[in-house]
Structure 1
């Protein structure tokens, strides 16, 4: 029976839209994924829900009868619903729509209050059919940092940051092949950020159109400007301006007498046809009447206060706001200007804290301001919320400055933000939703406080909190920037060093190797400035290690000479020179390693063959505690760096049979001992990773698996942190794949499930679960996981990521076993796009191809595919693939009648001892060679125990007779095509 937990969140979204009778193309556009990905989800749902066709699937979605299907002609839309009707502007709508049809970037320009946003929304709604891949609206009002434009757009699109890309890149990748419209509203305060973002977006997305609204043009060469005019005016009252006034006055109470339309026209003319001013005036009509409004417009406060920067239309809006402001009671004026510091909707309780008033008084005043149309009221789970329209908020902010209250009120707002941030860090219940509600205020408060020397301490605390919160919110790009900002605001170099280490760790989570390396070196400089040579030594050694553990994440990879220089400098800082000895000259130093040539690197010490260096976690953490503890951490970091450099040269250049293998293992083991003495589990984990890889290169599969298991258990209970998260994800991937290589399929599946459920992998997924399910023979799980992998890869822009090659090859193998030739070719195309790799030719590719060839009865071709001796291709099969390779090679030789078959079986039996799966494969080959049916059937039981259902079913088919029927049925139940009869062994 299919349960809710069997259906992934993305499948649930697809199922809901199928129930709404959307086509695959419409679903793809709605969810910003490819049509092929939708087809894969639908196929998975049909299988899971045992539905015979799409109609039955729609019924299974249980869509309420009242839910109307979305007409195919209406594209997916993410436009805010207007709270009031749109009046007039037929000519402007037609003109702006024509510009959108002819140009890729149009900016609707005009003063605040002219009606730019409402016009843009009206035109966008009418033009939506021209953009079949969707329309999205992005309000930039809450954005206070020009560098966060991409964050706002990604939020509107429902995108997270993709591994290896910043948010701007993630947005561009998601929209690269879309015919879509993006509306950027209220750009005037972040013009530079918008211009840079649009240049990148439009260059990467040739079918995307952008409509911006702004008080000033963006000043980019590809911009087409549309000046939004005031509402039309006519003395006889037959105009858009009068129509708007009448409609809004009627909504506020009762419509004015039609006989007075001429007087209304005169009022609208005095307001220059400005939509906001007319709405504000109309809202007071029931209480003041037309005569009162006319008199108020003659008040001296109508005069300009903005200087020569404002044109006549802007002067009229300001006059209307001055007039509306003058009608307020003094207490309400004070409240309006003080709540202008909020960048996002706020509650009465929040306003009371920031304004310094009693909550009941504030609540009463907010209600009066809302009645005056100066605040917008909305309901939320946290209670009634208020928001000032941007023009009014800016006007009120000017009044705040004139009153000399900026420092006082913004100071209280800063304290309120600090309390919110600390509360979010302490109470994690529903914290993500609570963070989203206050995030813009936290950013705005930090922007204000960061530029004031007297607020530096508070700004540092807020930047630090915001860095932590955005990291946990998976906004890793912003988190790194906030940690760097905190480092610049820190009260001293020691605190700055701590923040830079965190920033480096976040960069590691982003696979930004250059940033990770740069920031760790900057942390070393800060530690030296703080009088902490041991901390600086640990940072320098960790930076050197990063150059080898994360080599593929760098744009400019530091040379081996540079890394060795860092280690030498770290040694001088950590180990004082003895009399008569030059600082740093110690026996066995990195520079004295034999057989190494400077600059020869091939992946990282943490990168297994077939795995991109950089999947592993990085660097020893900064030491804390006394001088002894710091010195111990520095020594541990040095030992790890030396082991990393030596292991890299040894593994990449010399091979597993040379004498350096024991030395490499000894160095890594010493690094583990020193790290354990520091009491820092992250440092110990990093050293265990080096030791795992040293055993790996030496060909000890089981020691590698044991070290990986020890490492992940060490990290299991650590709290969330940038370094801890990166280290844990890597450790889970390592222990999963190491277990698979050692034949512990049940254990590997358990770890794989934990890895797949990690929140930091919600978007990107991981290759390890796919490898486990594929080699075990769980076709349905592989097909489901392949949809997520393909979706994430395409969202990231289909980058060449070689470390995903094994996962793509595993999916292609499953389709080969299912005789789904088109799907297999499609995944082989993906494999080609991931980039060339020797692993594909000689490592995982040989294993997966051999399994498919043997399934098809092509034993001779399988012999050819695995022709090289294991020692010839050790570098590409050492990781997961060694035991699988030698076992399949032996079976292929037996089934093909190869003259060396018996020797291959004997050699394989010795190589795989202790691996339950590979041992069963080799015993099966031996039983086939000897014609021992009883021994053959015994291996079927071994495969069942090892949780490898495909190989168990294959064994029954190879046994023939009455068992063959059971084997065929088992294969069919697993979703595989019938197996070709195997030739009798010669």
Structure 2
């Protein structure tokens, strides 16, 4: 969700702050209370992310010099024409919004609900510190996608592990804001439950909706929007609107026309849309032409059994406008009504189906329709686009059905969508996303129609498959999974269904939805079994067990050990001699043993070698198959087994093999999911091997990956750990903002990497001497980690580092008191080398009698780890009382990518090096004054 807009009143307060006025002086200047000024100042600090009043003053002064705005652009759309009349309704609706959590402006199409709602929203924007937000639901055709549409409108992205419908409640949870939902009538079944969840989760949010009918929710306050007032003759709101719009086309009615205008507005029942369309024709028809044109047309649908009260007046105006068109333009209007999003003349020519196809003639016709306000014109970088208002689009659809052309035109629209999707799948460039967004809703509508036509099942299958791939590329992971499941449902062959279900499972993996991964792999296995494909069935069953073991923290309900065992037994039974099936079963067997269903403990010396042997067999079988994705998954299990065995270097090498194996494979959903996991594991194991620069590079790849754009906590986790261990405070704190925002919006997901990332930020705050911020981030650690015991690993490393920085070696000694064998399961994966090396350093600085024994023990473990070896070397130099070795050790830390430890080592050398150490710490963004300066050992 983007930053809340600065209100008009806040902008005034900000400008006066730039003049360095006090709150009392600002209150006097604006005729408001001092308390109100204080409230506006607090709101500005929050919205503009500034620390204090001086920051606001500097920003205001700079803005005044440059002439730039001081805040984000308003979230409300800016109408291109003036709002006319409705003084009473405007005040009453504003009062209703202030008094009730949810208000629905109800009235017929064309009555002016949207313009009234926008006017009221603009009037009250200053009363909502977190701004007013607008979402137009016109393009939404599926009630299930209301939440996704609102999330896109307000900039609240989907979070891994949560449904997109939860994004908006998460974004508005603590916001005092107004959300305007426009045009709800066609998706009421989706809007009602969405609003119930939203308002329950956001106690300070208010919602103003517009709809042709009430939303029928228990907390709704309906506000009927009447037609424009016609009382008062030529001074009525209806006449004022007509006069304003007629003047806009260059022919304002003269004084003698007022009586005729009053009559026209009366006959149009005060409907705003009808009045605007009539006024647009004033310049070409005049009063007598309008009177003649409206005469018969208004009577055709004014109250008969064919029309309901909501549409009578608008349909009359549209019938009149339609009948003024030439037959070819009438056909064009009804045929382009199938487009939901703005469309080009070329697209219209293809779908309209005129023979011969003449784009220039169609463009000329679209221009005539636009002149008569039947189409809106939208200039764009890719060319002029046209769009019909929703009411006119629905009217055109009725005409299309009445003309018997509905099936043919929709079929051409389906073909156009399919071809456009195929072209976009092969395209690229910086405008790719915009091009997809331009017509994605048309693809969805065409797919919805085709899926309901049994004879078009194959076409629907092709379009669903195309849309699934495009949605994945567009990072719409929720829709991509939905579409792949739809592909499976539309498939004529079980083999195709199974493939689509496997794709859906991989996308669920990208969303960190373990339950869906497991369900979809089981469903793929069932489809393969029905098709007589034993290999595919084995693959699905084995993969289900594998993901349950590998990604256990992403499940809300992990399958029981008995269920996993039964699935694995069935897979073995079906495997036969198929190489890929055999490799899949071997992987599942190895993954179950090494992960959630039986992790090998570090002190189980007799189990670790057998487990590694079993996993290596799975790797080799997958390599021979060949099956790169399964081989990568087997390498993941191998790195886990090697970690349990305490071999950090071999574990890192296995993850590097994964990234190399996957680097040049086509980006299928399964490959993409595997590649993302491989990058994360490679970064983690690089940390464990002391390869901080490599960890930073791979962490950066994750942070910059587009698929993680909306999952900043997972994207930045390992980058935070690597930067934190290196002591790069500025970089760590910069990425911490993204991490924290995304973590909170996700609802507080739990995983070991998230806990370590939060702990690394806490450590940096500790090194900066900011205990309040450190405590705040330690609270995040408590929510981000899966078990408290994990903090015996990274928590001990980070806490002891802070304590040593402050010169409290005794406390640091206590923090790492347990021997590695006591906390093996918490340090064996990433933290073993860091833990044992730090214990050696702490022992020396605290004067522990076993310091030399700890140094010797650490050397046996960390040999080959550049950062940990430098730690042990430093401990030994201090223990020997030989600070002359410290400058060389400091250089080793620099080469190992650890500038903090480099500066810390210089600091321990004392003497003439202190100034250089303090300068190095300052460059890193740390606080030299917080660093302890222990006496020389």
- TM-score (normalizing by structure 1): 0.87
Question: CA offset at residue 802 of structure 1?
Answer: 5.3
Cα deviation, 1:273-325, whole Å, max 9, x if unaligned, reads 11111112222222222222222222257422997584445322212211121
State the partner residue of 1:463: 464
Unaligned runs of 5+ in 1: 1-8, 44-51, 577-630
Could you say which residue in structure 2 is the equivalent of 1:423?
423
Question: Which residue pairs with 2:129 in the alignment?
Answer: 132
1:749 and 2:701 correspond: no
Match of 2:30 in 1: none
- CA separation in 1, counterparts of 2:179 and 2:136? 11
Determine the structure 2 residue equivalent to 1:910.
Answer: 860
User: Is 1:733 equivalent to 2:733 in the alignment?
Assistant: no
Q: Distance in 1 between matches of 2:476 and 2:81?
A: 35
Match of 1:795 in 2: 745
Equivalent of residue 721 in structure 1, options 659, 664, 668: 668
Quote the residue 2:536 is aligned against. 535
Alpha-carbon contact 1:109-1:116 (below 8 Å) kept: yes
Aligned residue for 1:264, secondary structure, equals helix
- The alpha-carbon distance between structure 1 residues 866 and 37, as it changes in their structure 2 partners (threshold 3 A), is farther
SS in 2 for 1:77: coil
Preserved CA contact (<8 Å) 2:908 2:934: yes
For 1:155-178, what per-residue CA distance to the aligned partner results, in whole angstroms no more than 9, with x for missing partners? Answer: 111222112222211111111001
Deviation at 1:528, TM superposition (A): 1.2
Q: 3-state DSSP class of the match of 1:212?
A: strand
Match of 1:4?
none
Superposed displacement of residue 967, structure 1: 2.3
Range that drifts further, 488-497 or 928-937: 928-937
Matched residues in 1 for 2:94 and 2:220: separation?
15
Matching residue of 2:404: 404
Task: Give the match's secondary structure for 2:141.
Answer: coil
Equivalent pairs, count: 900
Gaps of 5+ in 2: 19-35
Matches within 5 A, 1:673-752: 673-752=620-699
1:196 equivalenced with 2:148 (yes/no): no
| Inter-partner Cα distance in structure 1 for 2:708 and 2:384 | 35
Using the TM superposition, give the Cα deviation of residue 556 of structure 1 relative to its aligned residue in structure 2, in angstroms.
1.4
Q: Please state how far the C-alpha of 1:39 moved relative to its aligned partner.
A: 4.5
- The equivalent of 1:895 in structure 2 is 845
The 5 Å alignment of 1:649-688 reads: 652=599, 654-688=601-635
Aligned with residue 162 of structure 1, among 159, 162, 167: 159
What's 2:934 paired with?
982
- Call closer, same or farther: CA 1:401–1:154 in 2, change over 3 Å: same
Which residue matches 1:494? 495
Instruction: Supply the distance in 2 between the matched residues of 1:129 and 1:797 (Cα, whole angstroms).
Output: 30
Greater relative CO, 1 or 2 (CA 8 Å, sep 6+): 1
Q: By how many angstroms is 1:542 displaced?
A: 0.3
Residue 833 and residue 567 in structure 1: after superposition, are their counterparts in 2 closer, same or farther (change >3 A)?
closer
Q: Secondary structure at the match of 1:213?
A: strand
What is the RMSD of the two structures over their aligned residues, measured on CA atoms?
2.7
Work out whether 1:808 is the aligned partner of 2:755.
Answer: no
Match of 1:355 in 2: 352
Change (3 A) 1:176 1:637: same
Q: Report the equivalent of 2:547.
A: 546
Q: How does 1:286-325 map to 2 (within 5 A)?
A: 286-299=283-296, 302-304=299-301, 308=305, 310-312=307-309, 314-325=311-322
Deviation for aligned residue 1:839:
4.3
Residues 386-435 of structure 1: per-residue CA shift (max 9 Å, x gap):
11111111111100000010111111111111111111100112211100
Q: Structure 1 stretch 261-270 or stretch 846-855: which is displaced more?
A: 261-270
* Residue in structure 1 matched with residue 93 of structure 2 by the alignment: 96
557 and 34 in structure 1: CA distance in 2 versus 1, 3 angstrom threshold = farther
Equivalences for residues 172-211 of structure 1 within 5 A: 172-211=169-208
Measured against aligned partners, the alpha-carbon deviations of 1:948-976 in whole angstroms (never above 9, x if no partner) come to: 11111211222222233332332233232
Per the alignment, residue 387 of structure 2 pairs with 387
Instruction: Sort the Cα spacing of 1:306 and 1:500 in 2 relative to 1 into closer, same or farther, 3 A.
Output: farther
The alignment status of 1:346 with 2:343, answered yes or no, reads yes
Q: Post-superposition shift, 1:106?
A: 1.0
Partner of 1:84, secondary structure, is coil
Classify 1:505/1:35 alpha carbon distance in 2 versus 1 (closer, same or farther; 3 Å).
Answer: farther
1:77 aligns with 2:74: yes
Q: State the distance in 2 between where 1:567 and 1:505 align.
A: 20
Closer, same or farther: CA 864–571 of 1 in aligned 2, 3 Å:
same
8 Å CA contact retained: 1:896, 1:983 = no
TM superposition shift of 1:53? 6.8
Cα deviation 1:900-943 (Å, max 9, x = unaligned):
11111111111111111111111111111111233333312211
* Displacement after TM superposition at 1:805 (Å): 1.2
Cα gap change, 1:256 to 1:55, in 2 (>3 Å): closer
Tell me which of 217, 234, 255 is aligned to 1:237.
234
Please state whether the residue corresponding to 2:234 is helix, strand or coil. coil
User: Are the structure 2 counterparts of residues 766 and 633 from structure 1 closer, same or farther at C-alpha, using a change threshold of 3 Å?
Assistant: farther
1:647 lines up with 2:594 in the alignment: yes
Partners of 1:393 and 1:933 in 2: how far apart?
82
State the partner residue of 1:280: 277
Q: Alpha carbons of 1:852 and 1:38: their partners in 2 closer, same or farther (altered >3 Å)?
A: farther
Alpha-carbon distance change, 903 to 880 in structure 1, aligned in 2, over 3 angstroms: same
Counterpart Cα distance in 1 of 2:386 and 2:920: 63
Q: Quick one: distance in 2 between partners of 1:83 and 1:449?
A: 37
SS in 2 for 1:160: coil
CA distance in 1, matches of 2:719, 2:47: 19
**CA–CA distance in 2 between the matches of 1:526 and 1:308?**
51
1:692-746 CA distance string (max 9 Å, x none): 1011111111110110111111112233332222221221111112112111222
Q: Secondary structure at the match of 2:133?
A: strand
3-state SS, counterpart of residue 821 of structure 2: helix
Match of 1:820 in 2: 770
Deviations 1:312-370 (A, max 9, x none): 45322212211121111111110100000000111111100110131111111111111
Q: Deviations over 1:430-484 (max 9, x none)?
A: 2111001111111111111111111111111111111111111111111111111
CA distance in structure 2 between the partners assigned to 1:98 and 1:819 by the alignment: 50
Deviations 1:72-111 (A, max 9, x none): xxx9631111111111111111111111111111111111
Distance 2:48 2:698 in 1: 28
Which residue is equivalent to 1:372?
372
Measure, in 2, the Cα distance between the counterparts of 1:569 and 1:643.
16
Which is worse superposed, 469-478 or 300-309? 300-309
TM-score (ref. length: structure 2): 0.92
**Residue in 2 that maps onto 1:6:** none
The answer to whether the 8 A contact 1:37-1:791 is kept is no
Deviation at residue 534 of structure 1 after TM alignment? 0.9
Deviates more, 1:491-500 or 1:754-763: 754-763
- The question of whether the paired residues in 2 share the 8 Å contact of 1:302 and 1:320 is answered with no
Task: Kindly indicate whether the alpha-carbon contact (under 8 Å) linking 2:754 and 2:785 is maintained by their aligned counterparts in 1.
Answer: no
Q: What is the distance in 1 between the residues matched to 2:463 and 2:420?
A: 10
Q: 2:571 — aligned with what? A: 570
Point out 4+ residue stretches in structure 1 off by more than 6 angstroms: 20-24, 33-38, 52-59, 61-64
SS state of the match for residue 138, structure 1? strand
2: CA distance, partners of 1:817 / 1:38: 27
TM superposition shift of 1:864: 0.9
Range with bigger deviation, 737-746 or 87-96: 737-746
User: Which residue in 1 is equivalent to 2:257?
Assistant: 260
Deviation (angstroms), 1:58: 7.8
What's the counterpart of residue 3 of structure 1? Answer: none
Q: Contact 1:771–1:807 (CA<8 Å) still a contact in 2?
A: yes
The verdict on how the C-alpha distance between 1:694 and 1:109 changes in structure 2, with shifts beyond 3 A counting, is: same
